């Protein structure tokens, strides 16, 4: 008999094998949502948890998801298919469904994120510099007119220079920097990096003259570049290009040893001011 996981993130992303091979079931939990819809990073983390189990490898290395419908709390099925088992990577395709309805599609490669740790590295970039925690601004549990229960699960401290993003006081630079850790003290592993890459306030809202409103993610890709050291992570998210009713958001996640542990990019739709 399995003991219930100690940490709330592990309980929230728990999956179990169904009878059909390659199929897993899970329960999208309450309290990881923004205005009633589960956070995309959280939902994807559960899907990745199932794909990782199917792969037999310890870590997601590069994972892409297409988000097909908002996900309310409740049961889901995750269907996985091994496309290729290689020496270094196992490639897995996946779909998350509820009562036959498509919620997410995924494609990912799984391996050992610590395998190359001894290889030479060059980082032409640096983690964001954050002031001491007491000078940072906590991620708000309300965002405009909607509640953000997700913010209770995470201890997110925003750089004070970027915090206008959540007060409708855009800086004019589409950048959001801040720190990320779990409220209950669970360390961030490579699975939780998927959540970290999609839980900051949207960097587009620090641009001026962009329509406010929901910016639904169409596609999110996360590259896991290393296993995070213990301690809070720092993230930097940026939107440079808003055009054609769409935008990108590029993310970097750095650990407490100043190592880059994840890159992310998403393609999202921008609210249509004419609609």
Give me the residues that bind its own copies (CB under 8 A), please: 61-62, 64, 66, 68-69, 83-84, 86, 88-89, 91, 93, 95, 102, 105-107, 109, 113-117, 119-125, 173-174, 207, 209-211, 218-219, 221, 223, 225-226, 240-246, 248, 259-260, 263, 265, 267, 269-270, 272-274
Q: How far is the CB of 18 from its own copies (least distance, A)?
A: 20
Q: How far is the CB of 214 from its own copies (least distance, A)?
A: 14
Pick the closer one to its own copies by CB: 14 or 107.
Answer: 107
Distance CA 20, CA 15 (A): 14
DSSP states along 100-119? TEEEEEEEEEEE-TTTTTTS
Pick the closer one to its own copies by CB: 41 or 60.
Answer: 60
CA nearest neighbour of 109 among 75, 151, 62, 159? 62
CA nearest neighbour of 139 among 153, 124, 125? 153
Q: How far is the CB of 69 from its own copies (least distance, A)?
A: 8
Pick the closer one to its own copies by CB: 148 or 191.
Answer: 191
Q: How far is the CB of 30 from its own copies (least distance, A)?
A: 26
Pick the closer one to its own copies by CB: 4 or 274.
Answer: 274
Query: What is the Cβ-side half-sphere exposure of residue 221, based on CA atoms within 13 angstroms?
Result: 9
Tokens of 150: 């997700």
Pick the closer one to its own copies by CB: 91 or 199.
Answer: 91
Q: How far is the CB of 61 from its own copies (least distance, A)?
A: 7
Any residues with CB less than 8 A from the CB of 82 and at least 6 apart, and which? 22, 54, 55, 90, 91, 92
3-state secondary structure of 96: strand
């Amino acid at each position: 008999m399995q003991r219930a996981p100690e940490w709330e993130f592990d309980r929230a992303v728990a999956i179990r094998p169904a009878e059909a091979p390659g199929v897993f079931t899970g329960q999208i939990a309450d309290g990881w949502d923004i205005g009633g819809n589960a956070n995309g990073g959280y939902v994807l983390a559960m899907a990745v948890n199932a794909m990782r189990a199917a792969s037999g490898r310890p870590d997601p290395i590069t994972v892409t998801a297409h988000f097909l419908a908002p996900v309310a709390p409740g049961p889901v099925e995750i269907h996985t298919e091994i496309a290729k088992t290689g020496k270094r990577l196992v490639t897995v395709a996946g779909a998350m469904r509820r009562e036959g309805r498509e919620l997410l599609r995924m494609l990912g490669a799984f391996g050992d994120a610590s395998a190359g740790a001894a290889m030479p590295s060059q980082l032409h970039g640096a983690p964001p510099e954050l002031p001491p925690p007491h000078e940072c601004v906590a991620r708000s549990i309300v965002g405009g007119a909607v509640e953000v229960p997700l913010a209770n699960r995470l201890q997110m401290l925003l750089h004070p220079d970027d915090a206008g993003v959540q007060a409708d006081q855009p800086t004019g630079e589409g950048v959001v920097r801040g720190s990320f850790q779990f409220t209950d003290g669970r360390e961030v592993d490579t699975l939780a990096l998927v959540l970290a890459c999609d839980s900051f306030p949207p960097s587009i809202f620090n641009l001026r003259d962009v329509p406010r409103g929901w910016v639904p993610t169409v596609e999110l890709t996360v590259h896991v570049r290393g296993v995070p050291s213990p301690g809070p992570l720092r993230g930097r998210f940026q939107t440079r290009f808003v055009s054609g009713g769409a935008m990108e958001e590029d993310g970097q996640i750095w650990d407490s040893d100043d190592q880059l542990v994840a890159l992310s990019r998403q393609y999202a739709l921008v609210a249509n001011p004419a609609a």
